[in-house]
Structure 1
Amino acid sequence: MSFFHEYNVGIATVEVSKDGSGSVADGSVCHAVCDPHMLTFDGRYYEHQYTGHYVLYKNEENNIEVQMTTAPCGYRATPTCPCAIAIRSGRTVFRFDRCAGYRVPWEIGFATCGGRPEEMTVYKKHSQYQVYLPTGTTIKVDVGNIILNVFIYPSEADIGLTSGLCGTLTGDCCDDLKLKNGGYAAGAQCGCYDFKTYKDFSDSWSLDKHNSLFDDEVVRDLNATTVSASYCTCEIKPDESSTSAHDNVLCPATNAKQCIYPSNYIRVNDKNSCAIRTRRRRSIGPNLESRNRRSTEWMNGWTAESAGAYCEELFNKSASVNQCQNIDEESIERSKRTAFWIYS
C-alpha cells in the first residue's frame, strides 16, 4: 500500500506566471513549404531549389534532428518540393516518405521505437500530424498529395544550439546562413527578406547514406536522447514577516514537456507502427526516375495528379476510413494503393 494512499491534501490553489523576461524562442518557427520556401527560426526568408537529402534542423546536444528530402514537385517540373521527412529524438524515429511519386502510397510511421517512451509523442488529424519532443519542441507536418509542408516550433532548449537549413536560433537573422564547417554563405547580406537561393549553404547541409535517417542500418545504431528530467525548486519565504502569501515554486523552461494535447487529434500508436522497421531498406535520396515517369494516355480531362488527388480526397472524407485508420493502417494503405493503380 502506498504511504500516501489515504492522505487527503485538500484543495490547493496554484498560480502560474512567467518571469516576464521573454525569449528568442517565443513565437519562433522554421518552415519549409511548397517548392520549398524557407523561413529560419530567426525570421530569414530564402529559397531552397535543390534536389537531395538535407539536415533541416538539428539540436546535436540533445540528439534531436529533422531531415528532409526534396525532389521535383511534378512531372518535368523545375521546382523541387519536400517529399520525405524523418524526425529523430534519441533512438526514436518517425518518417514520412513518398519520394517515389504518386504511384506509391505514403509511408508514414515509426521507423524505430527503441528509445524511452517519452522521447517522442505523435498525434494526427486526417493528413495533419503534430510531433512532440521531450525538449518542448513541436513539429507540425501537413501531408499533401505528393509533397509535405513542415513547421518546426523551437523551445528554450534550442536557443543557441540549432543548425541546418533552419539556421541558428539566436534572435539574429544575420547569422542564420551558417555552413556546416562554421563559415557563412557566400554573398549573404545582413537582412531577413532577400528570398534568394544559397547553393553553398544548402550543399553544406546535404547528407550521404551514412547519415540518413531513411537508412535502417543508421537508425538501429542511434544513441538515446540526452534530455534529462526537469525538476522544480521551492523558494521558501525568507521569514515569517514576509508579505508573500505563498512560497514560490520555480520551474525552468529549458526542459519543458508537453502535457496537454489537441483534443481533436488522435495519438498515433507506436507499438503497431514500429513494424515499418522490418521493411526493405530504402536507398538515400528520392527515386527521381519513377517520380518523373508519365502515364501513357488520359481521357476526359483526367491526369495522374487529379486521379490521385480524387482518390485521396475520397479516402480522407470517408467516415469508415476515419474510424478504422488507427486500428489497421496497413489495410487502408493497401486499399489506397489498389485505387491509385486502378485510376492510373
Structure 2
Amino acid sequence: MNVLRKKNKLQYCFSRYYENQNEGVFVMYRHNSSKQEVQMKTKQCNSVATCACAVAVRAGGDIFLIDLCRSPVLIKHVSCKENILDVRQITPYSYQIYMPLGTMTSVTINNWWGYESTLNLIIYPSVKDIYETQGLCGVLNDNQDDDFMTPSGDVEMDNNVFSISWRIGNEDSYFDSRNHDPDLSQLWDQSSLFCVCIAALNSTTPSSTAIEDQFVPLCSASVSSSCTKEPDVQGTRYQTCNIRTKRSKQSMSIETERILSKHIIGSDVIVHNIVKRSTSNITLEEALYECTRFFNGNCTTSLFENSLPNSNQDSKNSSITNCALDYTYTGNMSLASLHCETYRSEVDEEIRRNSTFREENPQIVESFRAMTCINNCNNHGNCVNGSCICHEQYIEEDCSVSLRDYPVVEDTYGGGLCKKNMDVCCGEIPIYGSRFVKGTTKQNLQKFNIYTNGTIVIENATKVENLTIINPFEAEIYVPCGSKQRRSTSNDNSSIPFVTGTRVSLTNDGTNYGPTQTYYIYDSKCQGAFNSTDGYAFYLLEGTCYIGDACYSEGERDTSDGCRKCLPSSDPYSWSNGCTSGITDSPTTIIISVCVVVLVIAVIIAAIIIFKCCVQKKKRIAGQFDRNATVIMADHTKLDNTLMFCSQQSLRESGRGTE
C-alpha cells in the first residue's frame, strides 16, 4: 500500500510519501466522534510487495464487506442493524460505499495478470471529517506535523512503525464474524442524521454570489442529493442492507456464518500468479519516466489535464508516483493500467463533487465522460459515449471476461445437499466462484434418480436457462426441489426413487461448460447422508420407513387404511399388517369387528340347538330301522339327505314344540 500527500485547500493528509508493505488488518480511516470506520486487509502478492485484498466499511450497526483474500470471494452486508450504509455498484467490479457523514470509500477490484486478486481503495472525506480522522490515512486538518499520529496520540516519524501501530487483531477485526453483531453502544446516534441545506434555507433561488460551501449539505449521504447543487449519486443500489433471499433469516444466517468461517480458518490465499522481482535494478527516476510516458500515451484522462479542475494535476502526479513505486517493486509495468484507472476515477469523482466546475464547463464534462471508460475497456473494446463496445468474444461492462472462459464454481449453499422437509431445500440457492456475467451466464440442468437398490437413472433431457447474478463472484442457480411428500396407498416402491437430484453446469457462450455440480434432494426425516470417497451416500434412518416417496416413523399408520403400519423390522419400504395382534383404533374397524363377533355367537347358539334336535331324531330313526343301519351308513348320499332333512325337520318340530 502506498499513501501519498494530498492537498485540498487547507486540508492536508500527510506531508510525505510512505508505503506499508506489512501484512495484516489495518485501520485505514476512523472517525473520532462518530462510529465510522474503514478497515483494510493486506497479503503478500509477490516476492516483495503486499496488496490490499479486503475492505470492511462500518457505520454504526452496519458492516459491508468485500473480501478477496480467500475463496470464495465475498461481497455482502454482514451486519444490517440500521440500514445507514449506502452501497452503490458502479460496475460489477467497482463499488462506492457512502457513510452517514458523507464520507465515501471507492473500491475497485483489479484484474492483475488476469486474476481478480487485489483492491484499489480511495477514501473521499467529507466536511465533517476535518479534524476528526485517524488511521493509516492520517489526520485531515491544516497541520502537517500530526500526520503520522499513532493510536496512542504520539507522532511517529518512522513509516514502518507508524503503519504497524494501526494493525489490529482478530478481536477488533470486522473480517472476523464474531464481531458482526454490534451491541447497542456501537449503534449510530440517530440525532446526527438531521439534514440541513444551508443554501436552501437562505433562498429558494440561490444567488450567483453564494459561495460553494453553502451547498454542502449538513446531513447523511443518503439525503445529500436533495441539496440544490449536489448531483445524483452514481451507480445502482447494491441490494439493501439485508440478506437477499427467499429463505428464512435463520437459515441464511447459518449460511453466512459457514462462508465466513472459511475466511477465518486456515491461511489466507490471494489467487494470483507469483511473479518474482525483476533482476534489473530499476531506480525511482527510471520508473517515474516510464510511468509518465505510459500515462501520456495510454490514459485518456491525460487529454483533459489542462482543462480539468486544478486538483487534476495532483491526482495525476499521485497516480504516476504510485505506478513508479510499484514498478520498482515488481520489476514490470503490469500495474500501470491500474493506476491509470485510479487517475480517471479520482478526476471523475472530483467533477461529481465540484458543482461549480460542472456548471461552468458542461462541454468539457460531457466530452470527458464520453471519451473515458472504466479500465479503458481492458484493451478489449472501444470507448464510445462513455460505454465499452467490446470486441468479439469479450463481455462485461469493461470487457474483462472472455466468452470462452466458463464460469467457475468454488462453493455452493448447503454443500450440494437439499433437504426437502426443511427451508434449506433447493430452489434458488447461492453459489460462489467467478466469471458470473449478468444476462450471459446460463445453467444446464439434468435430473437423475437414485433407487433403493443403488441404481442411478439419469434423464436424457436437459434444460438451459438464465440464472440470477448478484455480482461476478456470487449468483443464484435454480435447482428443482423435487416432489412434495405425499402419502402412499400402494405397497409397490420399485418405481419410486429413494433420492432425486440435479446436475448443473454453467456456460457463458453455450459451448464451453464448466465442471458439473451435483445437488441431491432427500428427506432428512427418514434419510441420512454422508460424504464418501465416491460422493454422497444415502441410507434409511433406524426406526423409520420410506414408502411411496414419503417418510414415516415406526408405528405410524396409513391414514387411508388403519391396518397398514410402518414396521421397519418387517419391511421398511412397504406397509405391514398392523391388525394381526389386536383391534385398531379405527371407528369403522371397531363397528365391523363387533358385528362379526355378534354374528359368530348367533351361529354358535343356532348350531347347538340344531345339534340337540338332530341327536334326538337320530335316536328315533335308529330304533325303527336298526336292521338296515349299515346300508344307510354306507350310502353317504342318503345319509347326508337324511341329516339335512333331519336338520330341516328338527327345526320345524322344534318350532312346534315351542308353540
Give the Cα–Cα distance (whole angstroms) in 2 for the partners of residues 292 and 251 of structure 1. Answer: 45
Q: Which of 83, 95, 98 in structure 1 is aligned with 2:68?
A: 98
- Are 2:219 and 1:255 aligned? yes
Give the Cα–Cα distance (whole angstroms) in 2 for the partners of residues 340 and 172 of structure 1. Answer: 58
Deviation by residue 1:245-289 (Cα, 9 ceiling, x = unmatched): xxxxx77744353335455x2211123359574435448889656
Give the Cα–Cα distance (whole angstroms) in 1 for the partners of residues 74 and 272 of structure 2. Answer: 20
Q: TM-score, normalization: structure 1?
A: 0.64
Give the Cα–Cα distance (whole angstroms) in 1 for the partners of residues 401 and 134 of structure 2. Answer: 37
In the alignment, what sits opposite 2:23? 51
In the alignment, what sits opposite 1:170? 141
- Are 2:71 and 1:108 aligned? no
| Shift of residue 39, structure 1, vs aligned partner | 3.1
- Are 2:39 and 1:39 aligned? no
The within-5 A match list for 1:200-211 is 200-211=161-172
Deviation by residue 1:285-334 (Cα, 9 ceiling, x = unmatched): 89656448989xxxxxxxxxxxxx999723376642599424994337x9
The question of whether the paired residues in 2 share the 8 Å contact of 1:215 and 1:283 is answered with no
In the alignment, what sits opposite 1:67? 39
Structure 1 window deviating more from structure 2 (128-137 vs 267-276): it is: 267-276
Deviation by residue 1:109-149 (Cα, 9 ceiling, x = unmatched): 1111111x3x1111111201011111111111001211100
Q: 1:235 to 1:43 in 2, by over 3 A?
A: closer
- Are 2:124 and 1:161 aligned? no
Task: Report the 3-state secondary structure (helix = DSSP H, G, I; strand = E; otherwise coil) of the residue aligned with 2:48.
Answer: coil
The question of whether the paired residues in 2 share the 8 Å contact of 1:53 and 1:285 is answered with no
- Are 2:107 and 1:141 aligned? yes
Give the Cα–Cα distance (whole angstroms) in 1 for the partners of residues 32 and 259 of structure 2. Answer: 28
Task: Report the 3-state secondary structure (helix = DSSP H, G, I; strand = E; otherwise coil) of the residue aligned with 2:164.
Answer: helix
- Paired residue type of 2:168: L
Structure 1 window deviating more from structure 2 (37-46 vs 211-220): it is: 37-46
Give the Cα–Cα distance (whole angstroms) in 2 for the partners of residues 43 and 148 of structure 1. Answer: 21
- Paired residue type of 2:141: T
Deviation by residue 1:139-160 (Cα, 9 ceiling, x = unmatched): 1100121110001100011111
- Are 2:367 and 1:279 aligned? no
The within-5 A match list for 1:326-337 is 326=470, 329-331=474-476
| Shift of residue 207, structure 1, vs aligned partner | 0.6
The question of whether the paired residues in 2 share the 8 Å contact of 1:52 and 1:286 is answered with no
The within-5 A match list for 1:247-326 is 253-255=217-219, 257=221, 258-259=224-225, 260-262=231-233, 265-270=235-240, 271-273=242-244, 275=252, 277-282=256-261, 288=267, 290-291=269-270, 313-314=401-402, 315=435, 319-321=439-441, 324-326=468-470
Q: 1:225 to 1:283 in 2, by over 3 A?
A: farther
Give the Cα–Cα distance (whole angstroms) in 1 for the partners of residues 438 and 140 of structure 2. Answer: 41
Give the Cα–Cα distance (whole angstroms) in 1 for the partners of residues 44 and 516 of structure 2. Answer: 21
| Shift of residue 230, structure 1, vs aligned partner | 2.3
| Shift of residue 73, structure 1, vs aligned partner | 1.2
| Shift of residue 224, structure 1, vs aligned partner | 1.5
Task: Report the 3-state secondary structure (helix = DSSP H, G, I; strand = E; otherwise coil) of the residue aligned with 2:180.
Answer: helix
Give the Cα–Cα distance (whole angstroms) in 1 for the partners of residues 220 and 271 of structure 2. Answer: 44
Q: 1:106 to 1:281 in 2, by over 3 A?
A: closer
Q: 1:284 to 1:106 in 2, by over 3 A?
A: closer
Give the Cα–Cα distance (whole angstroms) in 1 for the partners of residues 273 and 156 of structure 2. Answer: 37
Task: Report the 3-state secondary structure (helix = DSSP H, G, I; strand = E; otherwise coil) of the residue aligned with 1:279.
Answer: helix
Give the Cα–Cα distance (whole angstroms) in 1 for the partners of residues 54 and 467 of structure 2. Answer: 26
The question of whether the paired residues in 2 share the 8 Å contact of 1:112 and 1:277 is answered with no
| Shift of residue 171, structure 1, vs aligned partner | 2.9
Task: Report the 3-state secondary structure (helix = DSSP H, G, I; strand = E; otherwise coil) of the residue aligned with 1:96.
Answer: strand
Q: Which runs of 5+ in 1 are unaligned?
A: 1-35, 188-197, 237-243, 245-249, 296-308
Report how many residues are paired. Answer: 263
Which entry has the higher C-alpha Rg, 1 or 2? 2
Deviation by residue 1:153-201 (Cα, 9 ceiling, x = unmatched): 00011111101000001033432111111111135xxxxxxxxxx1211
Q: Which runs of 5+ in 2 are unaligned?
A: 7-11, 111-115, 208-213, 226-230, 275-377, 379-393, 403-434, 442-465, 478-504, 508-512, 518-659
Q: CA RMSD in A?
A: 4.0
The question of whether the paired residues in 1 share the 8 Å contact of 2:436 and 2:475 is answered with no
Q: 1:331 to 1:205 in 2, by over 3 A?
A: same
| Shift of residue 229, structure 1, vs aligned partner | 1.2
- Asked which structure has the greater RCO (Cα within 8 Å, sep 6+), the reply is 1
In the alignment, what sits opposite 1:5? none
Q: 1:294 to 1:160 in 2, by over 3 A?
A: closer
Give the Cα–Cα distance (whole angstroms) in 1 for the partners of residues 146 and 92 of structure 2. Answer: 37
Give the Cα–Cα distance (whole angstroms) in 2 for the partners of residues 286 and 136 of structure 1. Answer: 35
- Paired residue type of 1:313: V
Give the Cα–Cα distance (whole angstroms) in 1 for the partners of residues 126 and 24 of structure 2. Answer: 28
The question of whether the paired residues in 1 share the 8 Å contact of 2:29 and 2:38 is answered with yes
Give the Cα–Cα distance (whole angstroms) in 2 for the partners of residues 335 and 114 of structure 1. Answer: 35
- Paired residue type of 1:65: E
Give the Cα–Cα distance (whole angstroms) in 2 for the partners of residues 153 and 294 of structure 1. Answer: 31
In the alignment, what sits opposite 1:122? 87
Structure 1 window deviating more from structure 2 (140-149 vs 218-227): it is: 218-227
Structure (1 or 2) with the greater helix fraction: 2
The question of whether the paired residues in 1 share the 8 Å contact of 2:197 and 2:217 is answered with no
In the alignment, what sits opposite 2:176? 215
| Shift of residue 64, structure 1, vs aligned partner | 0.4
Give the Cα–Cα distance (whole angstroms) in 2 for the partners of residues 135 and 146 of structure 1. Answer: 30
Give the Cα–Cα distance (whole angstroms) in 1 for the partners of residues 51 and 268 of structure 2. Answer: 16
The question of whether the paired residues in 2 share the 8 Å contact of 1:156 and 1:253 is answered with no
Give the Cα–Cα distance (whole angstroms) in 1 for the partners of residues 162 and 108 of structure 2. Answer: 25
The question of whether the paired residues in 1 share the 8 Å contact of 2:13 and 2:140 is answered with no
Q: 1:282 to 1:40 in 2, by over 3 A?
A: farther
Give the Cα–Cα distance (whole angstroms) in 2 for the partners of residues 88 and 182 of structure 1. Answer: 23
In the alignment, what sits opposite 1:78? 48
Q: TM-score, normalization: structure 2?
A: 0.35
The question of whether the paired residues in 2 share the 8 Å contact of 1:40 and 1:176 is answered with no
The question of whether the paired residues in 2 share the 8 Å contact of 1:208 and 1:284 is answered with no
Give the Cα–Cα distance (whole angstroms) in 2 for the partners of residues 167 and 203 of structure 1. Answer: 14
Q: 1:341 to 1:136 in 2, by over 3 A?
A: farther
- Paired residue type of 1:155: S
Q: 1:252 to 1:108 in 2, by over 3 A?
A: closer
